[in-house]
């Protein structure tokens, strides 16, 4: 009986440790996911800052747009693992409609690459018009796959 109890306790301990290790791994994964999205937002913010303040850096916009496009290629990989617990604003809809999510990330890539191309031409009106399209593609994904603001975690 003693042996049985000891064995049972060891199994419980092993199970707990596995759970803890998984939780720690998920937390790290979440942080990376959020860092990727923040980096993408950083590029969006940078392009916006150049345009709205009419800064003499329109030649930087193509680089930022390319950065968004490259990040978009990492999104499917980064979100493939389903993590809905913890400090995340991701909706389960991501994994329930995986192909839609993938397509939304691809759309971001397409629109931001278009922006990179247009930016090289230097026509600010056209750049602004395409920037709106990039913003819409961000929104297209957020609308379906991110929690509404009243449910999001404060950061």
- List interacting residues with other proteins (CB under 8 A): 40-46, 48-49, 51-53, 84, 128, 131-132, 135, 138-139, 142-143, 146, 148-154
Residue 50 tokens read as 């150049």
Beta carbon nearer to other proteins, 6 or 92? 92
Q: How far is the CB of 125 from other proteins (least distance, A)?
A: 12
Which has the closest alpha carbon to 11: 21, 3, 27, 26?
Answer: 3
Beta carbon nearer to other proteins, 25 or 86? 86
Q: How far is CA 98 from CA 18, 33, 77, 81, 84, in A?
A: 28, 16, 11, 11, 14
Q: Coil, strand or helix: which one is 146?
A: strand
Q: Coil, strand or helix: which one is 1?
A: coil
Beta carbon nearer to other proteins, 6 or 132? 132
Q: How far is the CB of 143 from other proteins (least distance, A)?
A: 6
Q: Helix 61-79 crosses helix 98-121 at what angle (to 10 degrees)?
A: 170
Beta carbon nearer to other proteins, 19 or 84? 84
Q: How far is the CB of 64 from other proteins (least distance, A)?
A: 10
Q: How far is the CB of 136 from other proteins (least distance, A)?
A: 8
């Amino acid at each position: 009986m003693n042996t049985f109890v000891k064995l049972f306790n060891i199994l419980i301990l092993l199970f707990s440790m596995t759970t803890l290790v998984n939780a720690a791994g998920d937390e790290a994964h979440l942080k990376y996911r959020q860092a990727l999205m923040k980096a993408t937002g950083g590029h969006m913010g940078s392009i916006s800052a150049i345009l709205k303040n009419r800064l003499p850096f329109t030649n930087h916009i193509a680089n930022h747009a390319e950065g968004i496009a490259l990040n978009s290629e990492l999104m499917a990989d980064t979100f493939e693992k389903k993590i809905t617990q913890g400090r995340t604003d991701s909706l389960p809809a991501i994994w329930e409609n995986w192909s839609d999510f993938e397509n939304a990330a691809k759309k971001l890539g397409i629109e931001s690459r278009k922006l990179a191309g247009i930016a090289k031409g230097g026509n600010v009106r056209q750049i602004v018009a395409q920037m709106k399209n990039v913003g819409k593609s961000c929104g297209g994904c957020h609308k379906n796959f991110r929690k509404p603001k009243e449910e999001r975690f404060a950061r």
